[in-house]
Amino acid sequence: MEFDEYVAARGQQLVRLGLVLSADHHRAEDLAQTALMNAYRHWRRVRAMDDPHAYVRRILVNAYLATTRRSSSHETPSELDDVGHPEPDPSLALVEHDAMWQMLATLPTRERTVVILRYYEDLDYAAIATLLGIKDSTARASVSKALASLRAAHDPAEGHNR
């Protein structure tokens, strides 16, 4: 597969993963672009892999995790005034799930990442562990802890019953 074919087939999927991880459309595009730039530099080697998309997805996840660790990445964009050429808001499709996305955003970076990889990307625990460079049991424990936090945030009374 040539690089442009890969981008046409998987580019939007990478942007969606970036959006779910970062909850910011512009940052999601930056993450996808970073992953694709890094993959392009080594494309001959990447396309020879068993699963090139897994490698590019790992680049994107690592880029996201790296930006959350940097102190300079704590920028908060200000609201833009209406500039006369409104773009469709990509988050409108997520309105039904807004409460869940807000709760996901409250999770620590690692927990949010493992939940998204498990339930949004539908990866098994072994794949998550490989992608993040952690043990299988750590991936399971992180998902379990994150889900418990989400349950407690959704129903505070349930968190006290445990």
Domains of the chain: 1-70 (1.10.1740), 96-162 (1.10.10.10)
Of the candidate ranges 61-75, 86-100, 119-133, the one whose mean pLDDT is the lowest: 86-100
Between 3 and 71, name the one with better pLDDT.
3
pTM listed for this prediction: 0.64
Residue with the larger pLDDT of the pair 74 and 117: 117
CB 112 within 8 A of CB 105: yes
How many Å is the maximal CA-CA distance in the chain? 54
pLDDT the model gives residue 1: 82
Between CA 133 and CA 111 the distance in angstroms is 14
